[in-house]
């Protein structure tokens, strides 16, 4: 029986708790500083702790799952590692490169597993894209465009700079993570455009004036010499996502949205792929369940996390750091 302690009781925490209910041999504990956490724990049949630090120090807990705003990630991760726990943390890893490097050092010292919640890597369409690139079906990639947009306005803190909000931490990090996975480490970031487009938000019946960006457009260079444009925002009324990748033998287009087709276009046939358009469809999948199953599998089998590495998460942090420095 694997025992998981979840810190936080918000929207993401509930998605994690729902995923854990689908996984056998899991015992879940929940803690938060707000009383709502007790209600959330009861809803999912989890045990309740009213003190997050007491839960982290609990000897019978094997891992801590961190679902709180970004500014609190570093302290909770380090405390969990010091107490001998494995860690799953929602993206991004931390608030700064300095914090991320401290986490990396502590992870190496304690030899504990850390996984960051970049769940897009677990979507069949994006796994398929990775295979297409690695097998060189479209030849050598040289240019790609990544797009991710959402409406925002769910919680006020997601639009405030001091609490780690903004399009970069909420949306861009997911696309940067895919860039790193597909094309290697990010070597250069040019901030083409970053701004606050919607100056006021109605959130939970209150007017909020955002201080964090809700739109960003970057030009990115990678170690594989692939040039990338990446646009992410919190101003799209209907959730939008797609990626397109262009190479010497063709192109591919795909999306996390199951109503969008995946298309692999080949200039010349290769393997099972005909010349011209090759269309594919991927069904919906519970990405939270899939990634948390993988995390638990790594814990149980004492294996290295080779899908979503700490090194890649730090590479994403470095790119975000450049964006914020240029935008200050």
Is there a single domain that holds both residue 68 and residue 157? no
Is there a single domain that holds both residue 269 and residue 135? yes
pLDDT at 302: 78
Is there a single domain that holds both residue 93 and residue 197? no
The secondary structure of residue 216, as a DSSP letter, is E
pLDDT at 87: 96
Question: How many Å apart are CA 214 and CA 196, to the nearest integer?
Answer: 5
Is there a single domain that holds both residue 229 and residue 192? yes
pLDDT at 229: 98
Tell whether 305 is covered by a domain: no
Is there a single domain that holds both residue 133 and residue 91? no
Quote the pTM value: 0.92
Domains held by the chain: number? 2
Q: What is the CATH number of the domain that holds 272?
A: 3.30.360.10
Tell whether 324 is covered by a domain: no
Is there a single domain that holds both residue 213 and residue 264? yes
Going along 63-155, which residue ranges are E strands?
Answer: 63-66, 86-89, 114-116, 141-149
Tell whether 323 is covered by a domain: no
pLDDT at 320: 85
Choose one of 67, 86, 116: the last residue of a domain.
116
Tell whether 97 is covered by a domain: yes
**pLDDT mean for each 10 residues of the chain (328 residues):** 95 96 95 91 94 89 94 96 96 91 93 93 97 98 98 93 91 96 94 96 96 96 96 97 98 95 97 97 93 94 72 88 72
- The residues, any chain, with a CB within 8 Å of residue 33's CB and separated by 6 or more, are 52
Is there a single domain that holds both residue 127 and residue 212? yes
Pairing verdict, β 114-116 and 227-233: unpaired
pLDDT at 237: 95
Supply the range of the domain harboring residue 54. 2-116
Is there a single domain that holds both residue 224 and residue 241? yes
């Amino acid at each position: 029986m694997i025992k998981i302690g979840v810190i936080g009781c918000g929207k993401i925490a509930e998605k994690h708790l729902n995923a854990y209910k689908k996984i056998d041999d899991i015992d879940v504990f929940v803690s938060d500083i707000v009383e709502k956490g007790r209600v959330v724990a009861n809803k999912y049949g989890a045990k309740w702790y009213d003190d997050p630090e007491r839960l982290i120090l609990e000897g019978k807990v094997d891992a801590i799952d961190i679902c709180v705003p970004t500014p609190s990630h570093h302290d909770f991760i380090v405390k969990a590692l010091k107490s001998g726990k494995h860690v799953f943390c929602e993206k991004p890893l931390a608030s700064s490169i300095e914090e991320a490097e401290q986490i990396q050092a502590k992870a190496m010292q304690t030899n504990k597993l850390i996984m960051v919640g970049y769940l897009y890597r677990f979507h069949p369409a994006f796994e398929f894209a990775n295979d297409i690139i690695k097998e060189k079906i479209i030849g050598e990639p040289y240019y790609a465009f990544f797009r991710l947009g959402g409406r925002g306005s769910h919680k006020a803190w997601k639009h405030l700079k001091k609490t780690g909000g903004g399009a970069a931490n909420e949306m861009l990090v997911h696309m940067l993570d895919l860039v790193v996975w597909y094309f290697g480490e990010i070597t250069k970031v040019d901030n083409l455009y970053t701004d606050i487009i919607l100056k006021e938000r109605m959130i939970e019946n209150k007017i909020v004036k955002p201080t964090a960006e809700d739109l960003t457009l970057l030009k990115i260079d990678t170690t594989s010499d692939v040039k990338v444009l990446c646009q992410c925002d919190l101003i799209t009324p209907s959730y939008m996502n797609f990626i397109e990748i262009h190479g010497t033998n063709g192109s591919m287009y795909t999306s996390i949205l199951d109503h969008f087709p995946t298309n692999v276009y080949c200039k010349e046939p290769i393997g099972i792929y005909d010349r011209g358009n090759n269309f594919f469809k991927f069904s919906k999948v519970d990405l939270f369940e899939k990634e948390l199953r993988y995390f638990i599998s790594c814990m149980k089998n004492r294996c290295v996390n080779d899908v979503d590495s700490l090194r890649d998460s730090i590479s994403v942090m470095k790119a975000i750091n450049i964006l914020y420095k240029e935008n200050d």
